[in-house]
Structure 1
Amino acid sequence: MKSKSKQKTSIMKIAENETHIWFTYDEEINHDFALNNYVPFLSHQELEQYQKLYFDKRKHQYLVTRMLVRNVLSRYLKGIPAEDIEFITNDHKKPYVLPEQLVLPLQFNISHTEKMIVIAVSVGIEIGIDVEYLDRNNSAFEIAERFFAENEYQYLKALPDDQQKQRFFSLWTLKEAYIKACGKGLYIPLDEFCFSYPSFNTIDINFSTYRHDDPTNWQFWQIQPSKQHLVSLAVKQSEQHPQNLIMYKTTHLLGSEVVSYPVVASKC
């Protein structure tokens, strides 16, 4: 196995009114390349987790995910190589960069699914991101009836058959993004908040009396980077700095390019 050498990455700037999303397709990265170039950069804990995984496909995606996180964050953390970044988690396992390493109040969130990994980055505001693979089978109505708000479940039932699966994933990714941004994961019951679509490409959120939150605190985007993938992003916005979205794609984690994937719905 290759010995570790310091990885050089280009410096990225991010303004207080910007949220960046990074996309990578893990299947575009050769497994042998990843094995030789990424494993040496894992922390001891990450290496242990990597070695516990049994299936090669899962191991490959885990390896690319961890390296994407380290590579992307090192672009914003001036002077800190990717392999030296340290992480902590809150009580609900949401990850953060070790505060002593921050040169600005950077926030990030990660998600991955079949063939795609995404990471969102912001400054000083909580964010959550979720990506789903639209071709996978699931028990949409079972899940919606059991966990979603009643209005969401009835909305799905009323849709034509050919629209139900897409809308289920639309609601599911929004819910995942919101609870991840809040930093409490599934400790927040999914029926305590409800998403709706006032128009085809507009998102709205409402909260039950059990959930003390304000819809005006939040911005949401839904992006479709491929026919098989849907991404939802939740941003707890600041009144002073409503967020602008910038998207990047990176391959082999070496270079990057600005991309403009379709935003299919939003609440800004």
Structure 2
Amino acid sequence: MSPLRGGPRPPLSPPSRVDGPGGPWARLLHVLDTSGVGLVYTSLADWRPQLPPEEERRFLLGRDWARYSRLTGEQLRDRFLATRLLIRCTAAVALGTEAGSLELSYGLNGRVHLRGHDQIDVSLSHTGDLLLCGITSLGVIGVDAEPRERRLSGRDVETLMCTAPERLRLAATADEERNGVLLSLWTLKEAYSKALGQGLRFPFTEFGFRTEGGRGPAGEAGPPTAETILLERSDGTPVADDTWRFATFDLPSGHLAALALQDTRRSDQPDTRAGTALNRQILAAIGVLDH
């Protein structure tokens, strides 16, 4: 699922669409095998007819059943179930196992994990009908998505979420482009905060993003590329940490998706299937492999 340590870093691929638990998953599997990080998106409308009946959900949700039970309204319950199924199905592709065999757990900050599978990291975002899931074996990942039509410009958002250098670049941006630039910044900051496990607890004015050589949050001309989106401090000085990679993607659904990836190559093994990882853990435990 991930390239070997020290190898070249393939470009970050745009999300692929899946129509339900049955996929299609082939593109995700290919992207994971070649780059170690993948994104999928779907719509709640597509997944709702394929969700299991109510009498099967308690067993399926496991520890999530209590949280599910507290939700009111069919829409909220179906979205919660669909997002948990999306995470499990996505992880099952990476691990080479069945989605039903996976169990979700949560850290103190509410960040979701796959119990017993520390070789991968997952992140989830949903807005309206859109569901987005990211997965990687390289380190930690954060994803976010927003409707392209969401209005941020003209609502003092710049003061609440932008650093001083970002506000200067926004002031030089054409009026008709400013909302798109702000939306890119918002999704990138959300994704980065999720990757750190901080969410909205990390003030967005404490860090910023800029681009070099492509159109991105700074609004320059040309298509956005992951390699040109750079993290900077609140004063505009660059953060000298090349483990972080960022990208934004326009989805056919009319949404903007953002990805934050800290590529620390947590796994030296290209094969992170559940059976392989388990076998290595057993061998390490009996001293055949170094810990």
The equivalent residue for 1:70 is 88
The equivalent residue for 1:28 is 46
Return the offset for 1:58.
2.8
Contact 2:119 2:266 in 1 (8 A): no
Contact 1:222 1:233 in 2 (8 A): yes
- Out of 179, 186, 195, the residue aligned to residue 172 of structure 1 is 186
Return the offset for 1:8.
9.2
Q: Where do 5+ consecutive residues of structure 1 fail to align?
A: 1-6, 242-268
Distance (whole Å) between structure 1 residues aligned to residue 50 and residue 105 of structure 2 = 28
- Out of 134, 139, 143, the residue aligned to residue 125 of structure 1 is 139
Distance (whole Å) between structure 2 residues aligned to residue 205 and residue 46 of structure 1 = 35
Please say which of residues 56-65 and 170-179 is displaced more in the overlay.
Answer: 56-65
- Out of 241, 244, 248, the residue aligned to residue 218 of structure 1 is 244
Contact 2:144 2:191 in 1 (8 A): yes
- Out of 108, 126, 131, the residue aligned to residue 91 of structure 1 is 108
Once the two structures are superposed, residues 228-253 of structure 1 have per-residue CA deviations (whole angstroms, 9 ceiling, x without a partner) of 20001011124899xxxxxxxxxxxx
Once the two structures are superposed, residues 8-55 of structure 1 have per-residue CA deviations (whole angstroms, 9 ceiling, x without a partner) of 9989574484211111122223x3432528735532442333333334
Distance 1:166 1:55, change over 3 A: farther
TM-score (norm 1): 0.72
Return the letter of the residue paired with 1:149: T
Return the letter of the residue paired with 1:220: F
Contact 1:16 1:124 in 2 (8 A): no
Answer 1 or 2: which has greater strand percent.
1
Once the two structures are superposed, residues 83-137 of structure 1 have per-residue CA deviations (whole angstroms, 9 ceiling, x without a partner) of 3322333332211112xx32x6111111111221111111141111111112234
Contact 2:43 2:129 in 1 (8 A): yes
Distance (whole Å) between structure 1 residues aligned to residue 83 and residue 253 of structure 2 = 21
SS in 2 for 1:206: strand
SS in 1 for 2:136: strand
SS in 2 for 1:130: strand
Please say which of residues 125-134 and 179-188 is displaced more in the overlay.
Answer: 179-188
The equivalent residue for 2:218 is none
TM-score (norm 2): 0.67
Return the offset for 1:181.
1.3
Contact 1:41 1:67 in 2 (8 A): no
Distance 1:51 1:156, change over 3 A: farther
1:162 aligns with 2:160: no
Q: Where do 5+ consecutive residues of structure 2 fail to align?
A: 1-20, 216-223, 268-291
Matches within 5 A, 1:1-268: 12=29, 14-15=32-33, 17-29=35-47, 31-36=48-53, 39=57, 42-79=60-97, 81-98=98-115, 101-102=116-117, 105-138=119-152, 141-198=155-212, 199-200=214-215, 201=224, 202-208=228-234, 214-226=240-252, 228-238=254-264
SS in 2 for 1:73: helix
Return the letter of the residue paired with 1:89: Y
Distance 1:57 1:140, change over 3 A: farther
Matched residues, number: 229
Return the letter of the residue paired with 1:27: A
Distance (whole Å) between structure 1 residues aligned to residue 49 and residue 34 of structure 2 = 38
How well do the aligned residues superpose, as a CA RMSD in angstroms? 3.2
Distance (whole Å) between structure 1 residues aligned to residue 125 and residue 154 of structure 2 = 20
SS in 2 for 1:92: coil
Distance 1:130 1:51, change over 3 A: same
